[in-house]
Amino acid sequence: MSALTITLNDGNKIPWLGFGTGTALFGKDAENAVQAAIANGFVHLDGAQAYNNEESLGAGIVAAGKARSSLFVTTKLDKVPQGQTVRDTLVTSLKKLQLDYVDLFLIHSPKNHPAGTLSSVWKEVEALQKEGLAKSIGVSNFRVQDLEEILPNASVIPAVNQIEYHPYVFKADQPAIDLLKKHNILPTSYGGLGPIVRFKGGPLDSVLPSIAKRVSKAAGKPVTEGQVLQLWLKAKGIPAITTTSKEERIKEYLATETLPALTADEVKTIDETGSKVHHRAFAKFWDD
């Protein structure tokens, strides 16, 4: 059962481990995967308007039959269609999700909105929290300059910034992480398994197996390299949004919560080894 939570700057709690409906499930029917995730213990479900599967995320939630209050559901704002407001898009999302509110509503990407409009878009998002349509509000893929565009006029500081975060962007993401810390905005990670899923052949290939071996010994059961990367995020207090269409992977992710923690030295080794290269799979505009 997913139990570990982190308190946000608005007092709400976010479960550390989230089941995402992007990447592996992007544009696909996510109902069975979501139902399996909830049945196995996931309570944090991460969706988005851009994933084109909010209906099946909603159907999976309904099929799972869990009390609404026990779940934490996120969706994200895509481009706002001509003639519509941010509120219109969230009302549509809630209908698809079959929910009265989401626990977290994020601006998905600064690039989805015309230059100079982020501050006014954020004002619309703030109004949705006030109305109760979203318990917490935040942003995603926001660089330092994007945050600096909205913070001066914000009545509500974003609760989270969901970004690609793994050891191979550790160094490049540091300025954003520093700014988030300063404003008590929680970074949450997607693409956290990048070093083993997308960027094999990197310097971590020789480091992760030995750490996995040490943790396996301490846990008395096999530990995967993917779990080591999740333990790295856990050590940093950063929620991990992960995705899969396979039930055995769902079980593997959830098992991470009960594994022994990485040592400070192991975390440092991963930081330093990851910093030797730079690989970003998503939101490439961060590197422009």
Binding residues for substrate, as ranges, are 108
Q: Which of 51, 165, 190, 253 is catalytic?
A: 51
Using an 8 Å Cβ cutoff, are 99 and 87 in contact?
Answer: no
- Strands 17-20 and 44-46 turn out to be parallel
For residues 137 and 106, give the distance between their C-alpha atoms in angstroms, rounded to a whole number: 6
Between CA 34 and CA 16 the distance in angstroms is 17
Instruction: Give the containing element (helix H, strand E) for 190.
Output: strand 186-190
Q: Helix H segments across the chain?
A: 31-40, 54-64, 86-97, 118-131, 144-150, 170-182, 194-197, 208-219, 225-235, 247-255, 264-274
Rg, C-alpha atoms of the chain: 18
d(CA 75, CA 106): 7
* Residue 167: C-alpha distances to residues 11, 126, 231, 259, 279 (Å): 29, 33, 12, 20, 9
As a three-state string, the secondary structure of 64-123 is: HCCCHHHCEEEEEECCCCCCCCHHHHHHHHHHHHCCCCEEEEEECCHHHCCCCCHHHHHH
Q: From 238, 234, 93, select the one nearest 163 (Cα to Cα).
A: 238
Q: Is 51 a catalytic residue?
A: yes
Residues of each annotated binding site: 108
Active site residues: 51
